[in-house]
Amino acid sequence: MEQIEHSHVQVRGLKLHVAQIGTGPKVVLFLHGFPEIWYSWRHQMVAVANAGFRAIAFDCRGYGLSEQPSEPEKGNFNDLVDDAEALLDSLGINKVHLVGKDFGAMTAYMLAVSHPERVLSVVTLGVPFIIPGPAGIQFDLLPKGFYVIRWAEPGRAEADFGRFNVKTVVRKIYILFCRSELQVAGDDEEIMDLVDPLAPLPPWFTEDDLGVYATLYENSGFRFPLQVPYRCLSMDHGVTDPKVTAPSLLIMGEKDYVMKMAGMEEYMRKGTVKQFMPNLDISFMPEGNHFVQEQLPEQVNELIISFLNKNCST
């Protein structure tokens, strides 16, 4: 961890916080989700660097130590895709291996669809191939109290989160998202109410880890993170041919709550997802939850490095 270098890189008018470790022409770009940050990849960054790759992770615009856009409520996934491409340009990198988790997986899919010439391979965790937009997540099939729907409603999450300090909000979300069931609030409760104040952190997530997350989100707040992903998920992002042709690996925890979303497990297990990713391998981890890269880092690192080595000359 101490060897990870930090800097700010000017990208499309904003200074993005960038973490890097390793050197050489083989580059892995890590894309985080929510409530995650560059730090969510700490285990993977060190491992791939030790395996001979240059590892890069950045805080998305509006997250952590990266600057806020001037109009956060206009943000969408195209901003994240364009930021990733511009960051590679700024660093003089032509082609990369992508590793994305949660909504970072969606960014990876969009980048691989829109700029296939720059993507050597794609590894994603927690979310199978979905492009944000009307044809992506089927909101009508989700329970009305599901967190994705609640947080898409302007002002609702702000009022919910505002009852607690940032550290408590992150703690509650981590505990909640570790569970294998969907996070559904009743009519008379909010999402934060689903977590007992005395519930312990998962054993693989320390108070020190929580402190790092809290400090980063205290800096950025939740304004942009609520806009992207939650409040632009149904927006048409202009993707007309949603297909990823690069070699791909999906790592999915079998205890990840995403498996319980309507049609998701069938979409993966029956291979329907391969209509959009014909060169996809899927690895199911029996004990894995939504934060599998932090929960079971050694196993995830082995899967990623084996896949990268197989495709590093592609």
**Cα separation of 213 and 232, whole Å?**
24
State whether residue 188 is helix, strand or coil: coil
**Cα separation of 178 and 34, whole Å?**
13
CA angle 178/182/132 to nearest 5° reads 95
Among 59, 83, 102, 160, which one carries the catalytic annotation? Answer: 102
Closest Cα to residue 17, out of 237, 212, 292?
212
**Cα separation of 186 and 184, whole Å?**
7
241 part of the active site:
no
Among 17, 32, 237, 290, which one carries the catalytic annotation? Answer: 290
**Cα separation of 63 and 216, whole Å?**
8
102 part of the active site:
yes
Residue where the block lists tokens 């992903």: 229
Amino acid at the residue 230: Y
Residue where the block lists tokens 């805080």: 59
Among 39, 213, 230, 257, which one carries the catalytic annotation? Answer: 230
Residue 107 near residue 81, CB atoms below 8 Å = yes
**Cα separation of 91 and 113, whole Å?**
21
230 part of the active site:
yes
- For every residue of 117-184, DSSP letters joined together read GGEEEEEEES--S--SSTTSS-GGGS-TTBHHHHHHSTTHHHHHHTTS-HHHHHHHHHHHHTSSS--B
Active-site residue list: 102, 230, 290
